[in-house]
Amino acid sequence: GGDTFRFQPIGYRAVYPSQYFPSYPELGNRNLVDEVSQECRKAGIHLYSYCPLDGAWDEKIANDPRYIPYLRLDADGKPHARNTGYGNVKSIETCANGDAYRQMFRKLVQELCAQDTDGLYFDAPSGYRGVCFCDNCRDLFKKFSGMDIDRLRNSRGLRQSQPADVDYEALTAWYDWSNKLTEEDLIELRKIIHGSGKFMLC
């Protein structure tokens, strides 16, 4: 009896030709959002695009100069990689706190709003933004907290237990800052989405 379908147009890549998000080359000019939308419209089903605010791209992206400004960096300055849980596939996480990624994502949402859907759904928007050591995060975190981000060199993601000597003062400040940015993002994205006549879910 369901009347709504959640479809993911962006994940490790986009499944439609995107100007802003890396696409699957093997799809060519196919637009899977449009193909799914046509079937949903025939069946009278509402269609929502599923979008995580922070991304994780496949490993090939880490060396593509177009996307390097959007990558989350570890304390050693290398892109942050994690196992996806799908065999031996690794993904490279994006820096969702970085100005470059946040501005790109606003353009991406405008692009998604131009698709034939009823709205966009953001999954756990404040939950997973890990610590990033890119120059942008270094500067902006210092301005926000007065702390040097290197105090977080031994911190781990929220899904892992922290080491005994983790600096919780700095880690709390990081997530205070990160959540502030998330709220700013959601307010801006809501304006874009509602302005296009669509609906936003979180």
Q: If pLDDT is split at 50, 70 and 90, which confidence band does 140 have?
A: very high
- The torsion angle over the Cα atoms of residues 16, 127, 171 and 158, rounded to 10 degrees, is -100
- Among 86-90, 150-154, 170-174, 196-200, the minimum mean pLDDT is found in 86-90
Q: Is the pLDDT of residue 88 over 80?
A: no
The percentage of residues in the chain with a pLDDT greater than 70, rounded to a whole number, is 93
Instruction: Identify whether the C-beta of residue 37 lies closer than 8 Å to the C-beta of residue 115.
Output: yes
Q: What is the pLDDT of residues 2-56, one digit of tens each?
A: 899 999 998 888 999 999 988 888 999 999 999 999 999 999 999 999 988 887 7
Q: Using the structure block, give the residue that is written with the tokens 């890549």.
A: 13
Range 93-101 average pLDDT: 90
DSSP assignment string, 93-151: EB-TTSHHHHHHHHHHHHHHHTSSSSEEEE-STTS------SHHHHHHHHHHHS--GGG
Range 124-153 average pLDDT: 89
**Which contiguous run of DSSP H or E holds residue 41?**
helix 32-43
- Cα–Cα distance for residue pair 50/87, rounded to 1 Å: 23
Mean model confidence pLDDT for the chain: 89
Q: If pLDDT is split at 50, 70 and 90, which confidence band does 86 have?
A: low
* Residue scoring higher pLDDT (199 or 60): 199
* Residue scoring higher pLDDT (178 or 82): 178
Specify the pLDDT at position 87.
Answer: 59
Specify the pLDDT at position 13.
Answer: 87
Q: What is the pLDDT of residues 104-130, one digit of tens each?
A: 999 999 999 999 999 999 987 765 667
Q: Is the pLDDT of residue 159 over 70?
A: no
Assigned token pair, 87: 């065999």
Q: Which long-range contacts (CB under 8 A, 24 or more apart) does 60-67 make?
A: 61/22, 61/92, 62/92, 64/22, 66/22, 67/22
Pure H helices in 146-167: none
